[in-house]
A and B are shown apart, each in its own frame.
Chain A
Amino acid sequence: MAGDTYRIAIVGSGPGGLSAAGHAAKLGVSHVLLERTDHLSDTIYKYQRGKYVMSTPDILPLRSDMPFGAGKRESILDHWNKQTAELKVNVRYNSEVKAIQKKDDGVFHLTCGDGAVITAENVILAIGLQGNLNKLTCPGGDLPLVQYQLDDPEEYEAETIVVIGAGDAGVENAIALSKQNNVVIINREGEFLRVKQGNLTLITNAIDKGVIQCFYNAEPARVEPDAIILNTADGEARVPCNRIIARIGAAAPRKFVESCGIKFPSADRAALPEVSGTYESNVPGMYIIGALGGYPLIKQAMNQGLEVVEYILGNKIAPADEPLLKKKFAGLGDADIEAVIAEVRATIPVFSGLNPLLLRETMLESDVHVLKAGEVVFRRNDYTNSFFTILRGGVAIQLSPTDPNVVVKLPPGAFFGEMGLISGRRRTATVVAASDCVLLETPRRTMLKLVKSIESVRRTLDQTAIMRQVQTHLAPGVSTEALKPLVETAEIKRFKPGELIFAQGDKGDDMHLIRSGSCTVSMRVGGRDIVLSYVPSGNYVGEMALLSDSPRSATIRAANATETVRLQGDAFKALLEREPELKAKVEAKFRQRIMQNEQMTRRPEAGNIIQFLIEQGVGEGTDVLLIDESLCVHCDNCEKACAETHGGISRLKREAGPTFATIHVPTSCRHCEHPHCMSDCPPNAIHRAPDGEVYIDDSCIGCGNCEQNCPYGVIQLAAPPEVKFDIFSWLLFGKGPGPGEEMSYEKKKMAPGEKVDKPKRAVKCDMCKDIAGGASCVRACPTGAAMRVSPEEFMSVALLTK
């Protein structure tokens, strides 16, 4: 074999390399796939047994001759092995490539570990990063109790295991092991900075609950046969253990890559080699795909594998998402996608800062709407929270709820719908197409990701959003021109839950418009703080000190994660002088507040209830189930009703949860403004319905992220329950489980020890959105103790409680 020169030699049989080899085999191109180990795709082979492998980005189509979809590690490897055999891919196992040299005739010589030399015209480097795991460098790092991977966490039981490394791999291992072992995790930093949101919640919860012990700011000093010695801030600490699992990352095998002649752009340890648009490196004929080229996702790498083979063969191939984008923009006529993307970039400033790949991905996730003049985009008080941009034509925003002729028109390039996105609350205005227009609707999740990661998107968004927020919530009817001097003083402030916004007695020279989250107003009366009111987003605070030219009369704290627009007092006062109508309105509100505060200081217990509700996280909810304990007879009919109307599984635990005075907050979904459960849902199965209900659709894969992310414990994973029969069939013939009963009925027939092995899915309260007549729990309460309230109603709940 060594005598023949292959057209393509592929180094590494990971997703990228395998896909490239598969395509070459299919096309009949002479090729060889060199794999270091005796099996394909070693990185995925070494994943935890049974690990669920994601296929993100979901929207990107797979273009490869190898199959791939989200699923268990085992099934993915199975499919690949089968397909590799079927396509007769020429794999050479146990062939670690030690050196690659380009000879003068342009032919690459690849020297393998066994001394064999393979020659090829082109080389595809698809070696990834995981082949080069970082090892413990401290003394004893080579002892047998140290391992660098975890195959099956259930293999170990009742051991003390030290996990080193605070990245995703370390955290995932630690959590999986903690089910039946005593786990200690070592974090070099003071917190977990490098992990996915879902893993962060998991690990912090586990540490808080004492399930996992964590050493922060600690590093291994040395390893002994039955313990590890750590260097911590307080000196050395000895942790006896049975096993050490080090997950301290991987780096580009730089030495090897450089020895092939490939240059790195910087000396940074994390730096990756640069490649051209056709994945070619600075060495002609040598291509780099996958994680080493900067694309760590499986699907990306597989697509690149196919593309790179086409490029080597001299074919120009359009990106994999081209047909999808064509379909998406079909409404524009037979448009050239390159041109449309260019138009988006040129027209819409929010998106112009995105790199080509990201812009295409964003477009793929967005919807294109072609509307006729007069068509409604969305209505006031809808609970949708997507983000719209105008590509062509224009829209009119109806500012007044009563008069549809009071409008603001937006031109191409402008965006709207950002208020719902930011505050997580209902739409504040109805928007209609002013002329025939083309709109792009980008989903909340995509937009939040962009705002979080791309500075230019956030900047562009904020500038316009501040003006609109001021116009909507503070000064309706005042022109943009007139507001300009005020808005120019504005800045966005972020507050953590419980953080002080300003304190009673402070000098007041600014005011805050709450744009997301909410706050509490409290006052010191008789030496203690009394909560006077709860202020949800869309309201302003701090104007009282400005209007009366006196120090702050009350303390304002963020009730949950809150963003405010801080406006300067002088500019605001100047605005009021210019706008007498606005001044009258603000003063009316000022008087109303003074009265309300006066009323509340005489009813401190009502303030305590507000405080209690906010401590329970009710403040970030949009619709919360509360139980009036002065009426509740503990009949649990609410729970039974919930179970009965949701196929046997109650999403509500009445008794669990705290009580204050006579208000009880049962364990039940609050339908948060910014739902924690939505933050890390791989299939994007959690949505908010137009009426505000947060619900999970049938695409749930049962991964449990939402269950972990919910701070209120209201999501559970459950298998579909048994069939229920009519009440009379149960009463007279004993069929099925009775009303409100668990589904234990069918289980009687099973052999002892047998388990129901049905796939579990996440279930939570959906506010009975599919049932006419409202939430079953409230309707089934015989004494009227159960109620659903929104934060705006707290004041009345609190005031009326006796």
Chain B
Amino acid sequence: MLRYGLAYGLLSSRRRAREMLLPAITIATGAFLVVIVFAMSAGIKKQAAGLGHAGEIGHAVVLIAVTVLLVGVVEAAVATTRTIAHRTRELGVLGATGVRSRPVIVALLVEPVVTAFFGALGGGVLAAAAGAVLAAAGAATSGVSTTGTVTGVVIGLAVSVIAAVITSVVPIWRAVNRPPVKSLSSS
């Protein structure tokens, strides 16, 4: 059944690709910053050393970049609440016809997860390209680290997908477990 839920979620995600654009952009912005911070960590450390407290400022930069990524991910969860509101009757029909809640939850989780994954990937790829351009142009005096770029992309993807699931699962669970008659009668 979970397989069907996944397929159903992918199909509906394709249909709602336009609505997923804004959250994907906000996530991409956050992921871009995370990857740039990791890729150019040497330059940031140098700047932090100039301010004094190099270690603490360096930690603060990573903390703030990850926080901004989380802000972007929350937009995906807000978009999920919008999706649920649009599809309340559909959820009512699924519930009334005996479809269990677990595959429906999986189907609805596909949208935020896909948005988070592709948003983070897009932001990461853009950051890697920006880093390469900066390095080639000699604008990044402390260099752009390949290891840092890869670490940033992995962290960006992991944080985005996990945070998208955590923030979206509660509204989805609440919507799916509503009595079907209530969902069907909603305007």
Partners in one complex: no
Listed in ascending order, the chain B residues whose CB lies under 8 Å from chain A are: none
